[in-house]
Chain A
Amino acid sequence: MAALSRLKHKVIQTPNLGLTATYGTARAVQIPLFQGSSIVGNDARWSGVIESVVINYTTATGIASILSFLSRDAAGDAGLTQSLTTNVVTGTTTATSGCIRVNYDLTLSLAQTSLWLFLRTNAATCVVTSVEVTWRE
């Protein structure tokens, strides 16, 4: 029989966000889950599976990992996931660049359409250049 797929979506933000070793509201990235969607009437709710988040950074100064969590609010007081520590993968040509990938596979139905990703380093600093969230219907 033919295979059935579930529609996938990607949300891409390019914040150029300087990270330090502490969480803060200035170091959060808004994730508009319906970014680029032409679906009508999607202004109040979102349902789907958050699959993964890929974060690219540059100008790192000795970081070993990036910590992150998803929150329902911009203040970071309504956490949706626990803070996760992910070891960085450094660049081949430019050692101060790199990425992390966080796998969630989290099935949610929310009465909101944006989440906030809070980020910090384990130590020292880097600049987050892009955040890509993949989700499926």
Chain B
Amino acid sequence: MAGTALFYHRIPNTTSLNLTNANAVARSYAMDLNASQSGVVGNTRFRGFLNTITINFTTLVTAASVVVTVCKDAAGDQPIGAFTINLQTGVTTSTSGGGSVKMDIGTYLTSPTVYFFFRTNAGTLTLTNCELTWTE
């Protein structure tokens, strides 16, 4: 029989962030969820599933995990969830690495932008890349 597929969207952010073990506005990303379909008229809202966050980092010192708090506002006062990414360190360069976490949030937002606030469990690292996958 015929198969059906989902529509997938990839929202990348490559702004470098120096993370510590505390959340702050300066250590957050604004993620425009409709960036991958900006040509669609009337996308002032968001309806979909926030599936997965992946990150990459360099210059790791001590940290074993990164906590991502997903918020509706830039101040970080309206969170919709927090997720822990256990870090995998690099094979060739042990201070580099990455990780991912499943969110699986089905949501309907009146604004298409969410804010990711990052902190380490301890120590520091430089976040070099974050990608969100969401599906319709």
Contacts and interface: CB of A to CB of B under 8 A. Distances in A.
Interface of A: 2-7, 23-25, 28, 45, 47-48, 69, 71-72, 75-83, 105-111, 118, 137
Interface string B90-104: 111100111110100
Given A23-B91, A108-B52, A79 B98 contact: yes
B104 to A, nearest CB: 8
B3 interface: yes
Contacts of B91: 23-25, 28, 71, 75-77, 118
A76 B90 CA distance: 5
Given A23-B91, A25-B92, A107-B52, A78 B98 contact: yes
B119 to A, nearest CB: 18
B3 A7 contact: yes
A82 B87 contact: yes
A82 to B, nearest CB: 4
B41 interface: no
